[in-house]
Every structure is written in C-alpha cells, then in structure tokens.
Amino acid sequence: MLAWRLFLTVVKRRLAYRGDLLLAALDEVLRGLLAWTMLEVYASRTPDLAGWDRPQLLFILGFSLVPISLFHAFCGNLYQLSSHYLIGGHFDRVLLRPYPTFLQVCLDRIAIEDLSGTILGLTLMVVAALQIPGFAWDPLHLGFLAVMLASAFGVVVAVFMAFAATGFWFEDRVGMVPPVYNLMEFGRWPNSIYHPILKFLITCIIPFSFVAFYPASLFVGGGEWWPALATPLVALGALALAGACWQRGVARYSSSGT
C-alpha cells in the first residue's frame, strides 16, 4: 500500500508538466525507431543474418524494447545512485524510512513517459508476428510470452541493481551503470554472429542475451530452446545475487556527512 501511494504521488508530479512528459515520451519512441531503422538497413543488405530473416529480427527487437523501456520507467533512477544518493548524501534520507532501500530509490522517480517504448515494442512484435508463418496467437502462448517478458525485465533489473551497488564500494559520480548499458545492444542480435568470448560474456557474465534473443527466439523459431526456457531461472538467480550485493553495499554504507 505504501509503495502504491508513493507511485501515485510520483505519477501526479510527472503529470503536472505534460509538455515535458510528451517530449520525453517522444524521445523514447525515437530511440526505438532509430534501432528499427538500423535493423532495416542491415536486413536490406543481408536478407538472411546467420539464418535469421527480417521478421524474426524485428520480433526480437520489439521484444527487447519492452523490458528495457520498463526498466527506464521504473528503475531508471539507479543511474543517479552514485552521484545523487551516495556522494550527494541523499541516501541518508532513504535509510530513515522503514521501507526497502532499493524500492525507495526506484520509486523516487517514475518515468511514465518511457512506457511509450513499451507500446512501440509491443507494436513491432505484432507487426513482425503477422509476417511469421505459424506464429501462435492462442492465450496459452501469449501468456507464456508475458512470462518471458517479465523474466527479461527481471534480468535487466538484476544486472543494473548489481552494477549500481558497486557504488557503495567505489565512489564515482558516473558509476558502472552507463558503461554496462551499452552492452545491452548485443542482446538484440543472434548470438551466433559474435566471437565466442563475447557470446560467453553476454550469456554467462552479464546475461543480456536473456533480455531479448534467447526468450524471443522461442516464439519465432530457429534458436536453442533450452537456454530460452531457462530465462525465468536466470532472472530469479540474477535477482537473488543482485539483491545480496545491494544488501552488502547498504550494510557498509557510511554517511557522506553533507
């Protein structure tokens, strides 16, 4: 109940500046459209990318936009953990409240405008699915798709929770989140096109392949089914590990004195 009230308060605050909200929503959509344009360029030059055709790649792209935009909307405040909360001293205020610190940091800024990326991602998935022969539209498969999208969102949250938590050990205004974010782009493309070392990195170390490629491949065919089905387990394991890192970091936190 407390989280819901805090969520509504932040949403009302964002709705007070509707022009800014609209421009920010447009920015999220433009980023997705740019990724779509780049895919179309690649597809026009290489109709078959390591066995994957344009509709399959478009579905994977649309799938990736959903968990990423959800992360931007509900957990994007992790970008400010090092600079605003730890170095700026605002984490002291967080610790005074009887509520989980991670949720407080996330709910302190809800970017509902970034949900426009979710809408764009779902739209691209539908457009691609209509071009994929045999795509299943029954409730069972659609429910399974929702589970995979939620699991992919869990993986994104876990990765950035863990890297944001490094700020408790290393005082750096930029932090580890922005550099790691750029690696997420690799998760939108078939793993077979990468060098084995890079494939190992985005599968086993920083599991961005489970944000889009692996779970989305279950619905378009052509991928390995066993790592795709492991996506929910990867999400749960990653969240448990990231949560432990976060708690360890909170335990060693000392006030900045500001």
DSSP 182-209: GGGGGGGS-GGGS-HHHHHIIIIIS-GG
Percent of the chain as helix, strand, coil, to the nearest 5 = 75, 0, 20
**Collapsing DSSP states into helix, strand and coil, what is residue 52?**
strand
> How many angstroms separate the CA atoms of 136 and 132, rounded?
10
> How many angstroms separate the CA atoms of 231 and 226, rounded?
9
How much is the pLDDT for 7? 65
CB atoms within 10 A of CB 187: 27
Confidence of residue 258 (pLDDT cuts 50, 70, 90): low
How much is the pLDDT for 3? 62
How much is the pLDDT for 185? 83
* Most confident option among 20-24, 101-105, 110-114, 231-235: 231-235
How much is the pLDDT for 53? 86
**Domain extents in the chain:** 2-252
If you average pLDDT over every residue of the chain, what do you get? Answer: 85
**Closest to 72 in 3D by CA, of 2, 163, 217, 177:** 177
Phi, psi for residue 59 in degrees, rounded to 5: -65, -45
- Dump pLDDT digits (tens) for 129-170: 999 888 889 999 999 999 999 999 999 999 999 999 988 888
Distant-in-sequence, close-in-space partners of 122: CB < 8 Å, separation ≥ 6: 62, 66
> How many angstroms separate the CA atoms of 178 and 163, rounded?
10
- pTM of the complete model: 0.88
CA atoms within 13 A on the CB side of 222: 23
Model confidence at 28: pLDDT above 70: yes
How much is the pLDDT for 30? 82
Amino acid identity, position 14? R
How much is the pLDDT for 257? 57
For residues 40 and 11, the model is more confident at 40
Model confidence at 21: pLDDT above 80: no
> How many angstroms separate the CA atoms of 241 and 248, rounded?
11
**Collapsing DSSP states into helix, strand and coil, what is residue 49?**
strand
Distant-in-sequence, close-in-space partners of 80: CB < 8 Å, separation ≥ 6: 109
- Burial (CB < 10 A; 0-12, 13-18, 19+), residue 53, is middle
How much is the pLDDT for 58? 92
